[in-house]
Chains A and B, each alone.
Chain A
Amino acid sequence: MSRDATAEKLSLNVRAALLAIVLLVVGLGVWEGVNHSPLMGGNETLSEYEQLLAGADERASVPPPSEIAAKAWKELSNPFYDAGPNDKGIGIQLGYSLYRVLSGYLMAALVAIPIGFLIGMSPLAYKALNPFIQVLRPISPLAWMPLALFIIRDSEASAIFVIFICSIWPMLLNTAFGVAGVRNDWVNVARTHELTSLQTAFKVILPAAAPTILTGMRISIGIAWLVIVAAEMLVGGTGIGYYVWNEWNNLDLTSVIFSILMIGVVGMLLDMALAYIARFVTYAE
């Protein structure tokens, strides 16, 4: 019985993997094929215009996967080179972005989790702060950028501020929600054992609310990683967002697609890291 179930589960995983590989191969094959087939005419004699362009395509096409793979190999084999302001390795660019995301995100956590705790514990604080949160939360983080640049007068710090402001809300609201939802029985256990408020907060409420808080942190890191690309396109200088925009200005679409893929991979790794941490605080009731 259980062996059958395991066998079926295995075969499901295997089948899913096979299907994923087939989809990948077909997708890449079509992409590659479309780009290699001549767009006009094929073997016919070149028109005057084509002769002028020495046989180049009239329209630039999206580079095929093989070119991107070659680019990826080249970039990833030397990710940390630094040959001047406009020519840095992908590792350095991602490093700048990660540095901004993580510093803005950690500052947001330091603010959001204590305030979320307060809001969750005190109905008064909740009612008083809720209108502000509801107005501030839907503001696109990039809308803050001009104001941040004006007040902070530093593009680097402004980018970090934008990350801070966008990652604060999910953490704040989830912490408040988790803390407010702590079962009364557990708080009563703390009370009957004469725990101080601080002990209750750390020994009962924090572990009880931790899974919800971690969910908020996971949502926040996802949003922060989405926002950093746009923020860096605006402030420029360094970072993966700036890299994408810079390669677009260079009309190097191979690098653009390669960096898009890298953004996806790093975002997935950030999410996996938080999912991994969440496993340690999850509990079953």
Chain B
Amino acid sequence: MSHAFVEVQNATKRFPGTGKHALPLTVFENISFGLNKGEFVCIIGHSGCGKSTIMNALAGLDQFSEGSMVMENKEIKGPGLERGVVFQNYSLLPWLTALENVRFGVRARWKAWSDREVTEHSMKYLKMVGLQEVVNRKPSQLSGGMRQRVSIARAFATKPKLLLLDEPFGALDALTRGVIQDELIKIWSQDQQTVFMITHDVDEAILLADRIFLMTNGPHARIAEAVEIDLPRPRQRASIIKHPHFYTIRNYLVDFLVNRSSELRSEKPSGHGMLYPTPVDPVRQSSPECATETASASPDTESHQNLVNFTPKETRHG
């Protein structure tokens, strides 16, 4: 059996009940998914469905109650430098300057490097996010957008194999968010890291992601579907909305969040074993003749449907 780059199997998170005889609260249950190497995956769901728990578990900062996580055939246990994290609140160390914050990460990653190498490497990434002018300022002297750029530079500079972004643009205004999204795409297309990102913004997810995981509402949440985004890369904020498929995908996602995320919750998934999200391509679904074509096109996919979720387009990574 082939393994994806990152495999999460049967993940469950329960919190003990608050009362004396209260039942434990199950946030999510039996979640399985895989991330392919070099893939950009966004996860969308309402608050309380456990997105952040999944992310923190992947970062090694939290634990599932049950379930396993494997990355490159090694179990994920505790935090590690091969997994970089960008937090929503930036998590910069306020007593260090922007440069020192990035250096902090780079120094931790490459302990044998000389000070000059560390500084040069850090500066390279700060330049990529357009902060070369303000590297000697402390975070308190930077705007929210600039702080998040420093945080992104720090995460990318350590070249983690898996990059975890927890709503990185959640606290930013729309204009700043757009600019940093473009920068994120730019850095990502250079380094081709695997990215797993939480977002609440449907447009942002379409712009960035190869696949979008849709979570049903908690408690007992699950990842119901994995929507394939087949819009051609490189994508640009301005031109992507003109693509004929954009609104098909967008409507599908919004419909899921508004209507189906709560409907699916009561729907008990049948069967046991690992429940991987159903792959969905909203564009093909909307034109019936294509849909039948997909179903019969690849028997290989069908036979593995309940085990491993392949993305059809792997061409970018050869």
Chain A contacts to B: CB under 8 angstroms = 185-186, 188-189, 191-195, 203-204, 207-208, 210, 281, 283-285
Contact = CB atoms under 8 A, between A and B. Distances in A.
Nearest to B107: A193
Nearest to A199: B108
A194 B61 contact: no
B84 A192 contact: yes
B138 interface: yes
Given A186-B91, A285-B94, A191 B61 contact: yes
Given A185-B87, A191-B60, A193-B81, 7 more contacts: A185-B89, A188-B79, A191-B61, A191-B78, A192-B81, A208-B95, A210-B95
B104 A191 contact: no
B149 interface: no
Interface string B82-122: 01110101010111000000001100110000000000000
A193 B140 contact: no
Given A185-B89, A188-B87, A283-B138, A193 B95 contact: no
A185 B91 contact: yes
A134 B282 CA distance: 66
Nearest to B96: A207
Interface in B126-184: 138-140, 158
A122 B158 CA distance: 31
Most buried by B among A189, A203, A210, A283: A189
Given A283-B138, A284-B140, A193 B93 contact: no
Main secondary structure of the interface of A (DSSP, over half): helix
Nearest to B160: A192
Contacts of A285: 94, 139-140
A203 B104 contact: yes
A192 B95 contact: no
Nearest to B83: A192
A188 B91 contact: yes
A188 B61 contact: yes
A277 to B, nearest CB: 15
Interface residues on B, range: 20 to 34
A70 B3 CA distance: 91
A204 B139 CA distance: 15
Given A192-B59, A192-B83, A194-B79, A283 B95 contact: yes
10 contacts: A185-B89, A191-B60, A192-B59, A192-B83, A204-B93, A207-B93, A208-B95, A210-B95, A285-B139, A285-B140
Contacts of B79: 188, 191-192, 194
6 cross-chain pairs, A with B, having the tightest CB-CB distances, nearest first: A284-B140, A193-B108, A283-B95, A185-B91, A191-B79, A192-B79
A283 B141 CA distance: 11
B140 A195 contact: no
A27 to B, nearest CB: 43
A195 B95 CA distance: 18
Contacts of B108: 193-195
A204 to B, nearest CB: 7
Contacts of B17: none
A80 to B, nearest CB: 41
B296 to A, nearest CB: 45
A185 B101 CA distance: 14
Given A194-B79, A194-B108, A189 B93 contact: yes
B24 interface: no
A192 B104 contact: no
Contacts of B140: 283-285
A284 B158 CA distance: 26
B60 A186 contact: no
A138 to B, nearest CB: 34
A193 B84 CA distance: 8
A283 B84 CA distance: 26
A283 B95 CA distance: 5
A111 B172 CA distance: 45
Nearest to A195: B108
Given A188-B61, A283-B138, A283-B140, A193 B91 contact: no
Contacts of A284: 94, 138, 140
A133 to B, nearest CB: 28
Contacts of B60: 191-192
A281 B94 CA distance: 11
Contacts of A186: 91, 93
A273 B250 CA distance: 62
A39 B85 CA distance: 81
A191 B108 CA distance: 11
Contacts of A203: 104
Q: Which residue, B85, B95, B140, has most C-beta atoms of chain A within 10 A?
A: B95
A192 B162 CA distance: 12
A186 B61 CA distance: 12
A185 B86 CA distance: 11
Given A194-B79, A285-B140, A189 B95 contact: no
B273 interface: no
A192 B60 CA distance: 8
Given A192-B60, A203-B104, A281 B95 contact: yes
A283 B87 contact: no
Interface string B46-89: 00000000000001110000000000000000111101110101
